[in-house]
């Protein structure tokens, strides 16, 4: 399939997921905090700590996803170089090595018979998206959708201290 058709298919799939309520995370969710004072939240210490740990976990999962995407891109570049090596070997009369690259190495999956794009898609759909939705729902229920409650409270305390000149 051509890259343009892949891109169009991915857009279509995203449109379907959004219509089904499975779209991307609400990246503006934290903007609600501009209208809500975090001190108005009635959180127990345990709830605040749990939200903080959950948000840190989600951030690490997103970093892991970024590393998976980097792996996917790097392996793609390596495969392109192997394809170029196949062409050069064939042009120089090394048919056996060129055929081995073409038949054995280039079509092979990165893990078992799976290509990296399949790993990326499965990770996003089966692991990342459900955990994002879970974290969103917990944050919505406990903190009116406000993210980084611990950090916001800490920021406020530091600013109040600076304004008051307390050391």
Residue ranges per structural domain of the chain: 44-78+113-164
pLDDT higher than threshold 70 for residue 15: no
104-154 pLDDT tens trace: 999 999 999 999 999 999 999 999 999 999 999 999 999 999 999 999 999
What predicted TM-score, i.e. pTM, was given to this entire model? 0.72
> Where would I find the H helices in 20-148?
45-91, 95-100, 116-123, 129-143
The pLDDT score that the predictor gives to residue 21 is 47
Contacts of 147 (CB under 8 A, 6+ apart): 29, 30, 33, 55, 139
122 Cβ contact list (under 8 Å, min separation 6)? none
Identify the pLDDT of residue 166. Answer: 62
pLDDT at 1: 43
Nearest Cα to Cα of residue 136 among 57, 26, 53:
26
Phi, psi of 127 (to 5 degrees): -125, -60
What pLDDT, on the 0 to 100 scale, is given for residue 167? 59
pLDDT in tens, 29-48: 444 445 468 888 999 999 99
Question: pLDDT at position 108, please?
Answer: 94
């Amino acid at each position: 399939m051509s890259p343009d058709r892949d891109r169009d298919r991915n857009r279509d799939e995203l449109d379907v997921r959004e219509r089904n309520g499975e779209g991307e995370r609400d990246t503006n969710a934290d903007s609600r905090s501009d209208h809500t004072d975090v001190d108005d939240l009635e959180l127990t210490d345990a709830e605040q700590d749990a939200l903080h740990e959950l948000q840190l976990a989600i951030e690490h999962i997103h970093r892991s996803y970024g590393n998976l995407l980097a792996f996917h891109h790097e392996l793609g570049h390596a495969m392109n170089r192997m394809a170029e090596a196949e062409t050069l070997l064939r042009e120089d009369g090394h048919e056996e090595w060129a055929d081995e690259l073409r038949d054995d190495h280039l079509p092979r999956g990165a893990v078992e018979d799976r290509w990296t794009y399949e790993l990326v898609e499965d990770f996003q759909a089966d692991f990342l998206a459900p955990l994002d939705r879970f974290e969103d729902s917990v944050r919505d229920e406990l903190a009116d959708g406000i993210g980084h409650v611990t950090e916001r409270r800490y920021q406020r305390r530091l600013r109040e201290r600076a304004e008051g000149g307390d050391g």
